[in-house]
């Protein structure tokens, strides 16, 4: 065989080997494309004769596969991305407000609608700056590794992904009437030593209305009510009846929440969710009324406040009620837009 022919063959083999190695390099780019698995799987195909066929370089670029090293593409290469992803849903659950219904529906719908639901680990609601950064990066890694549309849930105050140069998920959540929320929360906390003397809803109402020890709500003192879950990680977000916290929560909801539902208006909530995020919630209403509601999974005895207690709470928790009424109005505005009113 001639020397030139040998060189040509060796060069061709090396080129094919190099391309095969490059194709298998995992991209570090954060992608929420629902077809990401297919692109990577189809990048190399083995024919019946076991001849390796390599896809064009343009397909590799579109798939975000780095040709030689493990790097993230520049913004110029990626082009403009939406600030909020429609392929990722985050339920940052408010406790005792019905968010478990949303999570259960997502778990049931994931097979039907072809997405993956993941419960994030961790129980801290308030994070340090370092913990916030780690949370954002770890969550994005989980989403990237799934490479399919993903819904996630965790009980945590709102975290702004865009401040860390990451695409934000579409947030969703549920809230309820503040008086009912407080009553339900105190039932949950009655195991604490300071509240063991409380046995019934009437005991809780009397304790709060009489401002007994452990049952006091004081303006600008930290409380774990609904507003902090939407205001975020700032130290002022937990302060009761804080005007800035209320406004910040409203700004956050308007920008990052596809739907903020209301437990007392679950019909409207599910309808808006199906319209705003159909990839995840298509069929949610049908599933809820056909399977979930008759099964009684969500029909645990709910705590309903008395009229006198509710009236007092509208004064004591006036900013929480302002947020609740605003969220309800927003939900019905979304519903009206669906029907073209």
143 and 287 co-located in one domain: yes
Averaged pLDDT, 135-151: 94
Same domain, residue pair 70 and 94: no
Domain limits for position 126: 84-338
Percent of the chain at pLDDT above 70?
Answer: 72
Distance CA 258, CA 176 (A): 18
Whether residues 111 and 201 fall in one domain: yes
Residue 295 pLDDT class (50, 70, 90 cuts)? low
Higher pLDDT, 300 or 175: 175
In a shared domain, residues 55 and 97: no
Same domain, 165 and 205: yes
What's the rounded Cα separation, in Å, for the pair 215 and 205?
Answer: 9
Same domain, 91 and 176: yes
**pLDDT mean across residues, the chain:** 79
- Per-residue pLDDT, 153: 98
Domain edge (last residue) among 45, 78, 111: 78
pLDDT recorded at residue 72? 38
- Asked if 64 and 107 sit in the same domain, the reply is no
- Per-residue pLDDT band for 340 (boundaries 50, 70, 90) equals confident
Helix (H, G, I), strand (E, B) or coil at 245: helix
> Do 90 and 70 share a structural domain?
no
Question: Binning pLDDT at 50, 70 and 90, where does residue 186 land?
Answer: confident
* Among 78, 99, 122, residue at a domain's last position: 78
Distance, in Å, from the CA atom of 1 to the CA atom of 294, rounded to the nearest integer, reads 80
What is the predicted pLDDT for the residue at 217? 94
pTM: 0.74
* Tokens representing residue 40 in the block: 């990577």
Q: 64 and 158: one domain?
A: no
What are the pLDDT digits (tens) for 208-222? 999 988 889 999 999
The DSSP code for 25 is S
Cα–Cα distance for residue pair 157/230, rounded to 1 Å? 6
Separation in Å, CA 181 to CA 202, 313, 317, 329: 15, 11, 11, 19
Quick one: average pLDDT of 280-297?
A: 83
Total domain count, the chain: 2
Measured distance CA(186)–CA(167) in Å, rounded: 37
- Whether residues 194 and 328 share a domain: the answer is yes
What are the angstrom distances between the C-alpha of 337 and each of 66, 89, 249, 265, 332?
Answer: 43, 22, 23, 17, 9
pLDDT (tens digit per residue) in 296-329: 544 445 668 899 999 999 999 999 999 999 999 9
Q: In Å, what is the CA distance from 99 to each residue of 11, 82, 93, 175, 340?
A: 60, 26, 6, 8, 28
**Position 81 confidence tier, pLDDT thresholds 50, 70, 90:** low
User: Within this chain, do residues 68 and 98 fall inside the same structural domain, yes or no?
Assistant: no
Q: pLDDT: is 290 or 170 the higher one?
A: 170
What CATH number is attached to the domain comprising 101?
3.40.50.300
Last residue of a domain, one of 13, 43, 78: 78
Question: Could you tell me the pLDDT band of residue 171, with boundaries at 50, 70 and 90?
Answer: very high
- Does the pLDDT at position 116 exceed 90? yes
Please check whether residues 42 and 138 belong to one and the same domain.
no
């Amino acid at each position: 065989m001639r020397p030139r022919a040998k060189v040509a063959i060796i060069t061709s083999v090396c080129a094919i080997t190099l391309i095969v190695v490059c194709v298998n390099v995992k991209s570090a780019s954060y992608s929420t494309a629902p077809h990401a698995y297919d692109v990577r799987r189809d990048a190399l195909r083995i024919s019946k004769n076991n001849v390796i066929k390599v896809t064009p370089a343009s397909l590799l670029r579109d798939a975000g596969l780095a040709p030689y090293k493990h790097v993230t593409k520049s913004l110029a290469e990626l082009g403009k991305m939406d600030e909020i992803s429609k392929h990722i849903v985050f339920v940052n659950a408010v406790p005792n407000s019905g968010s478990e219904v949303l999570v259960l529906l997502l778990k049931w719908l994931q097979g039907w609608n072809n997405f993956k639901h993941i419960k994030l680990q961790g129980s801290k609601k308030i994070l340090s700056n370092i913990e916030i950064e780690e949370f954002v990066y770890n969550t994005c890694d989980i989403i990237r590794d799934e490479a399919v549309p993903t819904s996630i849930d965790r009980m945590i105050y709102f975290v702004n992904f865009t401040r860390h140069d990451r695409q934000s998920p579409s947030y969703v959540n549920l809230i309820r009437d503040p008086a009912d929320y407080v009553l339900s929360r105190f039932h949950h906390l009655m195991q604490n030593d300071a509240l063991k003397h409380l046995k019934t809803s009437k005991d809780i109402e009397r304790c709060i209305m009489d401002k007994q020890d452990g049952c006091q709500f004081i303006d600008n003192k930290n409380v774990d009510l609904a507003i902090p879950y939407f205001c975020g990680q700032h130290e002022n977000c937990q302060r009761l009846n804080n005007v800035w916290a209320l406004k910040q929560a409203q700004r956050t909801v308007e920008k990052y929440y596809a739907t903020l539902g209301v437990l007392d208006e679950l019909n409207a909530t599910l309808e808006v969710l199906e319209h705003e995020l159909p990839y995840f919630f298509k069929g949610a209403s049908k599933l809820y009324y056909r399977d979930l509601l008759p099964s009684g999974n969500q029909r645990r005895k709910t705590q309903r406040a008395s009229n006198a207690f509710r009236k007092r709470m509208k004064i004591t928790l006036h900013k929480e009620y302002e947020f609740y009424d605003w969220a309800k109005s927003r939900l019905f505005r979304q519903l009206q837009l669906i029907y073209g009113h």
